Chains A and B, each alone.
Chain A
């Protein structure tokens, strides 16, 4: 093994506090650090330039300033075309099909731990690092576990990674709480110390509905209740997501979106929250982080959305088309096609799939 000072790490620097601290921590640990800023796709807007939360000029400048302060080389990588093709187009296509995608999951696999990793290896880097809250431990096999700060844990978004990628990734802030990271930022005197959290989808300026309206046509149809009664009109099924309560536009509510029938162009709503509950789901595009499939049935803790709690479940079987059938101990609210179902065993992230 090379000495640490000869180990080269490319750090994805967004200008935010987590990635800035990532770079500073790795430098302090003695790595040879290079910073890169990834320029993503920006939606054309009427004002100057486009708009992308994570790629504003301020963010670039903050990242550059941080690199300058640390005295590390810094480059801006232009991923706009690839980001548009692999993330935004996917995002729109999923909505068009009536699903609710999670672009960050795909971005991690395709862009951050895909394209960026390739570029970094081209620069003879030994590792890449990001400011994700998660932990990676590699012996003969690499394991991905939850971050120290359980409220900030982002392992959910990393379920599509594989062994080859994990071997090359460092997530140093995963070992700290957000509070500690903020304290470190002040200690290192980093420009990002005071920056706000970013949580939304980076290429959406206002709301998902506003964004979709620009790219997807309206296609109105009936809104019905589970007993088949027509209660109103919808503007296009892609503007609605399972479990949605606000913005349906019906009086005498509240109503919840419980299903979408793309073929008939019908939106089904219900006043009864119970109608949202499901005990079972089928998932596709399965990834096992270890690269090995466990024997089924297999007991896990599962998460069907980033913000939903862990729930006890059993992966019953692998269907003939490679999909998995998962049964929960207790019914789950708003099981949404397109979102990721992610499996844990203790602290360890085992893998996941896309809900069908």
Chain B
């Protein structure tokens, strides 16, 4: 049975074009990009070209691109690096983030919180979207950083980054202590404009493996003139912000993957139609199901639904047994014990937050896949609900 993959928010398959471009650097061209000789130079050229490709995509200078080991690392370099810059001067600083950030941001902010940095976690509406005025209210005299994700990894809701960027630029005009704006754009890159000038961001995180590139490589856009301390020390690579020998093949793959995004723009419309078909199908055909997060401000490939009487974990396993790969929330949190912090932030109860199913479509998803998923999912939910009934009968058989 050919499997159906609906977990593109966790990771995407590596595209053939990307892999083909990477192969020479995994096989013959092994030179260290910092070496003087020709073999080294071949690697350097490849990295430089990739840097240019990424810069074109983000509408920035190549020198503003820092290649990292992952998006998590990019988030850490940005947040800890900015904080360290001020902490080394003995300043008391304040950071604003949101309650629905990826753990890479949330847990990093919590570490700073413990180190004495003031951190505010902005609320989101029931629709999973931040209100810009809520950010404005949180800004204080000693605020140095606002870090808000571009699109949420669990429920796909798109945050008003342009508006927040404008707000910060306006406030910065009359402020001595400027505020930096960082966005984790990992989930957005495939579908939304990441023109950093348009967004008004100083730092932006992205990852290759969510855009049909290899795992283990990310980018941190760092605007020229921003002040940041390294968090890892070593050689001169990547403007000393990410020392260590460059992973040439992965960086090349990232460059190609990012360039290919524009050639796949048309397929986004098709994807959205398929997503709507699946979403409408579920909400119409399966009673007591509901969509988590806004319909309007949402990535075109994301569905996050809850079903009364059927748990997310059970749904994912049952679907997997039918060859359909999905997820409960984010892959990063599935190893943890807690219910989704994102769904809790939306105001869902603990039980409801345990009961969600995330399906994220990709370039390869077909209408046939969607029909099949709808058919299988309907049956599985029905089955699981029968078992919940069974559960009650089991309980009643127990004595005293």
Q: Given B314, B397, B398, B400, which contacts A122 in the complex, CB threshold below 8 Å?
A: B314
Q: In the bound complex, how far is the Cα of B310 from the Cα of A123, in angstroms?
A: 12
Q: Which residue of B lies closest to A36 (CB)?
A: B317
Flag if A124 contacts B337 (CB, 8 Å).
no
B397 contact set on A, CB distance < 8 A: 162, 164
Flag if B390 contacts A121 (CB, 8 Å).
yes
The smallest beta-carbon distance between B35 and chain A, in angstroms, is: 39
A41 contact set on B, CB distance < 8 A: 337
Q: In the bound complex, how far is the Cα of B203 from the Cα of A319, in angstroms?
A: 74
Flag if A123 contacts B391 (CB, 8 Å).
no
A109 contact set on B, CB distance < 8 A: 398
Q: Given B317, B383, B391, B400, which contacts A285 in the complex, CB threshold below 8 Å?
A: B400
Q: Knowing A73-B320, A73-B321 touch, does A287 contact B399 (C-beta < 8 A)?
A: yes
Q: In the bound complex, how far is the Cα of B335 from the Cα of A42, in angstroms?
A: 13
A155 contacts chain B at the CB level, 8 A cutoff = no
A39 contact set on B, CB distance < 8 A: 337
Flag if B399 contacts A122 (CB, 8 Å).
no
Interface of B is mostly: helix
A114 contacts chain B at the CB level, 8 A cutoff = yes
A65 contacts chain B at the CB level, 8 A cutoff = no
Interface string of B293-337 (1 = CB under 8 A from A): 000000000000000000001100110110000000000000101
Q: Given A73, A122, A165, which contacts B387 in the complex, CB threshold below 8 Å?
A: A122
Flag if B400 contacts A286 (CB, 8 Å).
yes
Q: Which residue of A lies closest to B321 (CB)?
A: A123
Query: Looking at B314, B320, B337, B388, which has the most chain A CB atoms within 10 Å of its CB?
Result: B337
Q: In the bound complex, how far is the Cα of B317 from the Cα of A150, in angstroms?
A: 37
Flag if A123 contacts B390 (CB, 8 Å).
no
B38 contacts chain A at the CB level, 8 A cutoff = no
Flag if A285 contacts B399 (CB, 8 Å).
yes
Flag if B321 contacts A77 (CB, 8 Å).
no
Interface string of A21-37 (1 = CB under 8 A from B): 00000000000001000
B46 contact set on A, CB distance < 8 A: none
B384 contacts chain A at the CB level, 8 A cutoff = yes
Query: Looking at B321, B399, B400, which has the most chain A CB atoms within 10 Å of its CB?
Result: B399
Q: Knowing A78-B313, A80-B337, A286-B399 touch, does A122 contact B321 (C-beta < 8 A)?
A: no
Q: In the bound complex, how far is the Cα of B383 from the Cα of A39, in angstroms?
A: 24
Q: Which residue of B lies closest to A119 (CB)?
A: B314
Q: Given A73, A121, A284, which contacts B400 in the complex, CB threshold below 8 Å?
A: A284
Q: Which residue of A lies closest to B315 (CB)?
A: A122
Interface of A is mostly: mixed
Query: Looking at A39, A73, A81, A160, which has the most chain B CB atoms within 10 Å of its CB?
Result: A81
B317 contact set on A, CB distance < 8 A: 75, 77, 119, 123
Q: In the bound complex, how far is the Cα of B387 from the Cα of A121, in angstroms?
A: 7
Query: Looking at A76, A122, A124, A162, which has the most chain B CB atoms within 10 Å of its CB?
Result: A122
Q: Given A77, A122, A165, A285, which contacts B318 in the complex, CB threshold below 8 Å?
A: A122
The A55-90 residues at the B interface (CB cut-off 8 A) are 73, 75-78, 80-81
Question: Range of interface residues on chain A?
Answer: 20 to 34
Q: Knowing A80-B337, A81-B337, A286-B399 touch, does A118 contact B320 (C-beta < 8 A)?
A: no
B1 contacts chain A at the CB level, 8 A cutoff = no
A297 contacts chain B at the CB level, 8 A cutoff = no
Flag if A78 contacts B387 (CB, 8 Å).
no
Flag if A118 contacts B387 (CB, 8 Å).
yes
B350 contact set on A, CB distance < 8 A: 81
B36 contacts chain A at the CB level, 8 A cutoff = no
Q: Which residue of B lies closest to A76 (CB)?
A: B335
Flag if B383 contacts A122 (CB, 8 Å).
yes
A285 contact set on B, CB distance < 8 A: 399-400
A322 contacts chain B at the CB level, 8 A cutoff = yes
Q: Given B314, B388, B394, B399, which contacts A164 in the complex, CB threshold below 8 Å?
A: B394
Q: Which residue of B lies closest to A114 (CB)?
A: B394
Flag if B383 contacts A124 (CB, 8 Å).
yes
A122 contact set on B, CB distance < 8 A: 314, 318, 383-384, 387
The A104-146 residues at the B interface (CB cut-off 8 A) are 109, 114, 117-119, 121-124
Flag if B337 contacts A118 (CB, 8 Å).
no
The smallest beta-carbon distance between A8 and chain B, in angstroms, is: 9
Q: Knowing A39-B337, A73-B321 touch, does A118 contact B399 (C-beta < 8 A)?
A: no
The smallest beta-carbon distance between B340 and chain A, in angstroms, is: 12
A165 contact set on B, CB distance < 8 A: 394
Q: In the bound complex, how far is the Cα of B395 from the Cα of A165, in angstroms?
A: 11
Q: In the bound complex, how far is the Cα of B388 from the Cα of A162, in angstroms?
A: 18
The smallest beta-carbon distance between B355 and chain A, in angstroms, is: 12
B388 contact set on A, CB distance < 8 A: 118
Q: In the bound complex, how far is the Cα of B391 from the Cα of A39, in angstroms?
A: 20
Flag if A118 contacts B313 (CB, 8 Å).
no
A287 contact set on B, CB distance < 8 A: 398-399
Interface string of A274-292 (1 = CB under 8 A from B): 0000000000111100000
The smallest beta-carbon distance between B328 and chain A, in angstroms, is: 9
Flag if B400 contacts A78 (CB, 8 Å).
no
Q: In the bound complex, how far is the Cα of B318 from the Cα of A73, in angstroms?
A: 12
Q: Which residue of A lies closest to B391 (CB)?
A: A118
B337 contact set on A, CB distance < 8 A: 39, 41-42, 78, 80-81
Q: In the bound complex, how far is the Cα of B7 from the Cα of A159, in angstroms?
A: 43
Q: Which residue of A lies closest to B318 (CB)?
A: A123
The A155-195 residues at the B interface (CB cut-off 8 A) are 160, 162, 164-165
Q: In the bound complex, how far is the Cα of B391 from the Cα of A164, in angstroms?
A: 11
The smallest beta-carbon distance between B357 and chain A, in angstroms, is: 14
Flag if B400 contacts A322 (CB, 8 Å).
yes
Q: Which residue of B lies closest to A323 (CB)?
A: B400
B399 contact set on A, CB distance < 8 A: 285-287, 322
A164 contact set on B, CB distance < 8 A: 393-394, 397
Could you list 30 A-B pairs, sorted by A, with CB under 8 Å?
Answer: A34-B321, A39-B337, A73-B320, A77-B313, A77-B317, A78-B313, A78-B337, A81-B350, A109-B398, A114-B394, A118-B387, A118-B388, A119-B314, A121-B387, A122-B314, A122-B318, A122-B384, A122-B387, A123-B318, A123-B321, A124-B321, A124-B383, A162-B394, A162-B397, A164-B393, A164-B397, A284-B400, A285-B400, A286-B400, A322-B399
Which 6 A/B pairs are nearest by Cβ-Cβ distance? A80-B337, A122-B387, A122-B384, A285-B400, A122-B314, A75-B317
> Which residues of A are interface residues toward B (Cβ below 8 A)?
34, 39, 41-42, 73, 75-78, 80-81, 109, 114, 117-119, 121-124, 160, 162, 164-165, 284-287, 322
- 13 new A-B contacts, CB < 8 A, other than A76-B335, A124-B318, A124-B383, are A41-B337, A81-B354, A118-B387, A119-B314, A119-B317, A122-B387, A123-B318, A123-B321, A164-B393, A164-B394, A165-B394, A285-B400, A287-B398
